Amino acid sequence: MTSERTTAIPRTAVPDGITDPVERARAELKATLLAIEVKGNLPRRAAVAAEKKVAQFKKLAEQSPAAAAAVVVGAAAAVGGVVWGFVALYTRKR
């Protein structure tokens, strides 16, 4: 009976069992560069966060349409307040 790994290794992990120091160094460098890419790719991270928020909102809208409507009204009021504030600052006489 052999035990096989049921979970996938993350792309940023160094696989076990590498005995050659050069191959191990290459694997560590590859994992480090992938980790830097994952953390440094801000547009991708923002897109993933936005997708999660949209999914959460859709779930909320299905469970409680009144709460979803309240969130939309609150967001619209916040955006309107920010725009009003900028316009008021811009048009203020000096």
- pLDDT, one tens digit per residue, over 6-31 is 666 666 677 777 788 888 888 888 88
DSSP conformation class of 15 = P
Please tell me which residue, 4 or 35, carries the higher pLDDT value.
35
Length of the chain: 94
Q: What is the Cα–Cα distance from 9 to 14, expressed in whole angstroms? A: 9
- For helices 65-91 and 42-63, angle between their N-to-C axes, nearest 10 degrees: 130
- pLDDT, one tens digit per residue, over 26-74 is 888 888 888 888 888 899 899 999 999 999 999 999 999 999 999 999 9
**pTM for the complete prediction?**
0.53
- pLDDT the model gives residue 74: 96
Largest CA distance in the chain: 82
